[in-house]
């Protein structure tokens, strides 16, 4: 049996894979593949509208929010956001909490002034910066809710008088929060929502109305809203996989149910690692991510042995990002508790044998 701990693209529910493969051969009993199906058909339009409705329901969005499915991955949002909401005479506030956030900062500087309100770069982004103040004249405040590479996660929403914008690529739909407090949320789909190639965007209508207009149509959120995310050919299959995953999440009880399981998985893994002196957890307890657990070993020779042992036992995708080293175990929504039980058993067994 393979346990897929990849950071992204990552594990999705088995039933989603099965249903998606059926749709490649015969979509909704039409005799056509979803891959050859027209996007401007009532049947595909209902895929998009059901997916949007499920996002509204699962995230409990108020009536002032627009839901979009856009191309380009989260990295496109790094520049599309400032292209819409920043200009040379404005300043945006950014939190520099990880590699992904620092990339967003780099792109924003192309469009206007950026004030980095706090950074954890001094210690390789191994903690969540605190104690900063936000300028109240900022066009917006941008941060990353979960730092996928470094294994840190924001707990709670910072209080802010300026519009909040969040990159939620790696923890969206994994835990409850008041999503209506955000003016703009984006997330690449390939971690918790579906297949790579599409972004989920949730935006406040009033905030959208403040956006720049002299930008290319494909970059203009308002035009995507006006066209129901069908300004051009959307990533049809990727959106369909999102719909299947959203249906699955609703069926198992939505965000409250998955949040409980995610907490169990993270508690089990972190408490096991913390109890074994052989392992090192670089992130302080209060900042640890429930989606991506990062750890190292004090002895590099043992790290090699541990990786080999994991590979032998079908534990896939646990090698840490090159900028952090060590290991990263990603436990997205679709990762069952049983897989985390299996890897913690392996960790304990390895520690016993090599203590
Ligand atoms: C994966 C990831 C990205 C990059 O996503 P792409 O779709 O590859 O552009 C950006 N931000 C975060 C937090 C991520 O986890």
- Residue 247 and residue 291 in one domain: no
Question: Which of 6, 7, 8, 128 for mutating ligand 1's site (highest number of atoms within 8 Å of CB)?
Answer: 8
**CA-8 nearest atom, ligand 1:** 1
The pLDDT value given to residue 355: 83
**Boundaries of domain holding 312:** 255-354
Residue 3 lies inside a defined structural domain of this protein: no
The rounded distance, in Å, linking the Cα atoms of 114 and 109 is: 6
For the chain, percent of residues with pLDDT exceeding 90? 98
Per-residue tokens: 183: 């003016």
Q: Is-contact 199 78, C-beta < 8 A?
A: no
Beta bridge partners of 258: none
- Residue 321 and residue 244 in one domain: no
- Residue 101 and residue 215 in one domain: yes
Give me the chain's average pLDDT, please: 97
- Residue 95 and residue 214 in one domain: yes
Q: How far is CA 151 from CA 78, 278, 353, in A?
A: 20, 19, 27
Dihedral (CA of 345, 347, 353, 355) sign: negative
**CA-100 nearest atom, ligand 1:** 11
pLDDT tens by residue, 51-107: 999 999 999 999 999 999 999 999 999 999 999 999 999 999 999 999 999 999 999
Q: Is 100 a catalytic residue?
A: yes
Question: Which stretch of DSSP H or E encloses residue 124?
Answer: none
Q: What are phi and psi of 183, to 5 degrees?
A: -80, -25
Is the pLDDT assigned to residue 128 strictly greater than 90?
A: yes
CATH number at residue 278: 3.90.1150.10
Considering its fold, how many domains does the chain have in total? Answer: 2
| Closest C-alpha to ligand 1, atom 5 | 74
Pocket of ligand 1 (CB under 6 A): 8, 73-75, 100, 144, 148, 167, 169-170, 188, 191
Q: Is 167 a catalytic residue?
A: yes
Residue 34 lies inside a defined structural domain of this protein: yes
Per-residue pLDDT band at 246 (split at 50, 70, 90): very high
Closest CA to 72 of 292, 248, 231, 210: 231
| Closest C-alpha to ligand 1, atom 12 | 169
The rounded distance, in Å, linking the Cα atoms of 56 and 348 is: 42
Indicate the residue among 217, 232, 251 that finishes a domain: 251
Rg (CA), the chain: 21
């Amino acid at each position: 049996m393979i346990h897929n701990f990849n950071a992204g693209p990552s594990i999705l529910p088995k039933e989603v894979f099965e249903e998606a493969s059926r749709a490649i051969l015969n979509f909704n009993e039409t005799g056509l593949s979803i891959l050859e199906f027209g996007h401007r058909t009532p049947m595909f339009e209902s895929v998009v509208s059901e997916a949007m409705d499920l996002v509204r329901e699962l995230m409990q969005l108020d009536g002032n929010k627009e839901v979009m499915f856009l191309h380009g991955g989260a990295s496109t949002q790094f520049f599309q956001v400032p292209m819409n909401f920043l200009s040379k005479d404005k300043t945006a506030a950014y939190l520099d909490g990880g590699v992904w956030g620092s990339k967003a900062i780099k792109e924003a500087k192309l469009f206007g002034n950026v004030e980095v309100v706090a950074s954890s770069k001094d210690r390789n982004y191994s903690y969540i910066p605190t104690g900063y103040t936000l300028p109240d004249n900022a066009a917006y405040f941008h941060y990353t809710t979960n730092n996928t590479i470094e294994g840190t996660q924001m707990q709670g929403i910072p209080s802010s008088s300026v519009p909040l914008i969040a990159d939620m690529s790696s923890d969206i739909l994994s835990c409850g929060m008041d999503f209506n407090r955000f003016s703009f949320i984006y997330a690449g789909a390939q971690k918790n929502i579906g297949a790579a190639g599409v972004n989920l965007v949730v935006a406040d209508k009033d905030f959208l109305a403040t956006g720049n207009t002299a930008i290319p149509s494909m970059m203009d959120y308002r035009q995507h809203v006006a066209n129901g995310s069908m300004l051009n050919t959307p990533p049809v299959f990727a959106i369909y996989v999102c719909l299947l995953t959203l249906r699955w999440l609703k069926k198992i009880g939505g965000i409250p149910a998955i949040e409980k399981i995610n907490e169990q998985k993270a508690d089990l893994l972190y408490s096991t690692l913390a109890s074994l002196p052989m392992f090192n957890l670089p992130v302080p307890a209060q900042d640890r991510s429930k989606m991506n657990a990062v750890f190292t070993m004090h002895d590099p020779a043992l790290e090699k042995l541990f990786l080999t042992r994991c590979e032998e036992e079908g534990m896939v995708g646990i090698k840490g990002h090159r900028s952090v080293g060590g290991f990263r175990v990603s436990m997205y929504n679709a990762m069952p508790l049983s897989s985390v039980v299996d890897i913690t058993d392996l960790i304990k067994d390895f520690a016993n044998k090599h203590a």
